[in-house]
Amino acid sequence: MGNCAIVGINWGDEGKGRMVDLLTESFDAVVRYQGGGNAGHTVINEKGKFALHLLPSGIFREGVINILGNGVALDPENLWAEIREVTRAGVAITPANLKISERASLLLPWHRDLDALEEARLADRQYGSTKQGIAPFYSDKYQKKTVLAGELRDPAVLREHLQELLEWKNLILTGVYGAEPYTMEKLDQWVEEYCKPIVPFITDTGRILYDMQKKDRNILFEAQLGALRDLDYGIYPYTTSSNTLAAYAPIGSGLPSLKLTDVVGVVKAYSTCVGEGPFVGEMSGEEADRLREAGAEYGAKTGRPRRVGPLDIVGTRYGVNMQGATKIALTKLDVLSYMKQIPVCTQYRVHGEITDDFPFPTELESAEPVITYLEGWNCDISGIREWRDLPEAARRYVLFIENAIGCPIKYVSVGPERDSIIIR
Ligand code: GDP
């Protein structure tokens, strides 16, 4: 089993949460290593339906250790709200099953405000931020202008550090944006309400991972968003502000020397994209509405309708390579059951030239999709559990993708429930 990362191959929302929930059974720890409260993983199990933003999806499995690594945007307010929500559903969350890296940087209350202020300033040129403060947070982390989770253990040192940051941040809030300044009272209240309750969970997660690795325990790394949103390798500037690639997992979790045994890349049977930016092959009108409805494609965090399109072989092959995927989980195949003919984007046309390669971000704007149609199956496949029982057209669709992206499709998901899966 070893160490495995479950990552998104495309723009995010591929169904990673459901795959992690399924696969955690075989793992001793589940680790989040990047991102924050800006996207959600939807998990449906016997306890209910949950949109997890920060908590690792292993939180529902007894005996699994859940780790929030140093690479995450640790938002105490969101985290504490999520801990309370999941606890209310009857899931015990204790320092034994949830561990927060002492080296994780804190998303401070003004990061959310700055996100909203900057999007307002950009007006119709905005990036479509979820306004969870993620971009201002990561900017400040790299400017060394935020606080490490471990500092919460020493209230006097913490207060002094916050005071310093407050002075600097108020210059930006008032001077650049003409907004209200923050006060120390506000920060004290934030510490009291949201930071103090999470202190018992804060620890050296690298140490835990090191010990687990020595004992040959199985560790699962859970990514947020997908390869095309990676800060360095995605569709910049319409990326997220962190690294969504599997290669970042060891760095963002506390054990940089760790080697991954497996990378499961999650691909949706069609494409969706939230927010702004180039999205080659985007459907419009009735065709788009029908697919959006069939797949219930609305943002887990914002409720925003997602943009939809056919499966994009060019972007998916690029994502598979960037992630170093060793196997693929293809999700939501059941959603396509209504289509008579299924469109697939097999290549791009850029400035009149056909290409198999994913273009440089600024060239993407001029890319047009080359569409092929595959035969649909037109029957309900959500109850099927064996590969051989899938209609031939459905198998052909899966094999077509597998062949085109050059990576084995090991899992085919035909419904959101834990057991709605075909393992090949
Ligand atoms: P994530 O961020 O990658 O975990 O993606 P989402 O949270 O957006 O998950 C995708 C949505 O699709 C969730 O509502 C899941 O419950 C649902 N889902 C996942 N797999 C399947 C599937 O195979 N079929 C159907 N119909 N729904 C699925």
pLDDT tens digits, 58-89: 898 889 999 999 999 999 999 999 999 999 99
Pick the closest to residue 21 from 48, 51, 49, 57 (CA basis): 57
Q: What spacing in Å lies between the alpha carbon of 347 and ligand 1's midpoint? A: 26
Considering the candidates 21, 41, 312, 334, report the single residue annotated as catalytic. Answer: 41
The closest residue, in CA terms, to atom 18 on ligand 1 is 416
The closest residue, in CA terms, to atom 17 on ligand 1 is 416
Mean of all residue pLDDT scores within the chain: 93
Percent of the chain with pLDDT over 70: 96
Q: What spacing in Å lies between the alpha carbon of 124 and ligand 1's midpoint? A: 30
CB of 20 closer than 6 A to ligand 1? no
Q: What is the DSSP string of 140-163?
A: HHHTT-S-BGGGGG-HHHHHHHHH
Is residue 148 pLDDT above 80, yes or no? yes
Taking the C-alpha atoms of residue 162 and residue 159, their distance in angstroms, rounded to an integer, is: 5
pLDDT band at residue 132, thresholds of 50, 70 and 90?
Answer: confident
| pLDDT score, position 324 | 98
pLDDT band at residue 57, thresholds of 50, 70 and 90?
Answer: confident
| pLDDT score, position 14 | 94
The model's pTM is 0.91
| pLDDT score, position 142 | 95
CB of 32 closer than 6 A to ligand 1? no
Residue found under tokens 């995605």: 234
pLDDT band at residue 122, thresholds of 50, 70 and 90?
Answer: confident
Q: What spacing in Å lies between the alpha carbon of 416 and ligand 1's midpoint? A: 6
Mean pLDDT of 124-136: 75
Is residue 221 pLDDT above 80, yes or no? yes
Q: What is the DSSP letter of 236?
A: T
pLDDT band at residue 299, thresholds of 50, 70 and 90?
Answer: confident
The closest residue, in CA terms, to atom 11 on ligand 1 is 15
| pLDDT score, position 82 | 94
| CB of 154 closer than 8 Å to CB of 37 | no
Structural domains of the chain, with CATH: 3-104+202-264 (3.40.440.10), 105-198 (1.10.300.10), 268-423 (3.90.170.10)
Q: What spacing in Å lies between the alpha carbon of 259 and ligand 1's midpoint? A: 28
pLDDT in tens, 30-44: 999 999 876 667 777
CB of 415 closer than 6 A to ligand 1? yes
Is residue 52 pLDDT above 90, yes or no? no
Taking the C-alpha atoms of residue 147 and residue 137, their distance in angstroms, rounded to an integer, is: 11
Sheet containing 3-8: give its strands across: 202-203, 98-101, 65-68, 29-32, 219-226, 3-8, 262-268, 327-331, 409-413, 421-423
Mean pLDDT of 16-45: 84
CB of 17 closer than 6 A to ligand 1? yes
Which of the pair, 47 or 312, is modelled with greater confidence? 312
| CB of 128 closer than 8 Å to CB of 120 | no
| pLDDT score, position 127 | 63
Is residue 216 pLDDT above 70, yes or no? yes
Percent of the chain with pLDDT over 90: 82
Is residue 209 pLDDT above 90, yes or no? yes
The closest residue, in CA terms, to atom 12 on ligand 1 is 15
User: 106: part of which helix (H) or strand (E)?
Assistant: strand 105-106
Is residue 406 pLDDT above 90, yes or no? yes
Pick the closest to residue 270 from 40, 7, 44, 13 (CA basis): 13
CB of 19 closer than 6 A to ligand 1? no
Stretch among 7-21, 45-59, 102-116, 285-299 having the lowest mean pLDDT: 45-59
Active site residue 41: yes
CB of 274 closer than 6 A to ligand 1? no
Mean pLDDT of 191-196: 97
Q: What spacing in Å lies between the alpha carbon of 398 and ligand 1's midpoint? A: 18
Is residue 2 pLDDT above 90, yes or no? no
Compute the residue count for the chain: 424
Q: What is the DSSP letter of 182?
A: P
Phi, psi of 319 (to 5 degrees): -60, -40
- Residue 124 φ/ψ region, left for φ over 0, alpha for ψ in the -120 to 50 degree band, beta for the rest: alpha
Is residue 157 pLDDT above 70, yes or no? yes
Ligand 1 atom closest to the CA of 39, numbered from 1? 2
Mean pLDDT of 82-111: 95
- CB burial of residue 383 (10 Å; 0-12, 13-18, 19+): exposed
Residue 361: asked if its preceding bond is cis (omega within 30°), the reply is: no
Paired tokens of 252: 């963002």
Paired tokens of 153: 């253990």
pLDDT band at residue 418, thresholds of 50, 70 and 90?
Answer: confident
Active site residue 204: no
Taking the C-alpha atoms of residue 239 and residue 261, their distance in angstroms, rounded to an integer, is: 27
Q: How remote is the C-alpha of 352 from its chain's centroid?
A: 34
Q: Helix, strand or coil for residue 116?
A: helix
pLDDT in tens, 254-292: 999 999 999 999 999 999 998 889 999 999 999 999 999
| pLDDT score, position 47 | 84
Is residue 126 pLDDT above 70, yes or no? no
* CB atoms closer than 10 angstroms to residue 173: 18
Which of the pair, 95 or 22, is modelled with greater confidence? 95
Q: Indicate the top mutation candidate among 13, 21, 34, 42 to test ligand 1's pocket, ranked by most ligand atoms within 8 A of CB.
A: 42
Paired tokens of 211: 């010990």
Residue found under tokens 């982390």: 141
Q: How far is CA 128 from CA 125, 292, 352, in A?
A: 9, 19, 30
Is residue 392 pLDDT above 70, yes or no? yes
CB of 300 closer than 6 A to ligand 1? yes
Taking the C-alpha atoms of residue 65 and residue 216, their distance in angstroms, rounded to an integer, is: 15
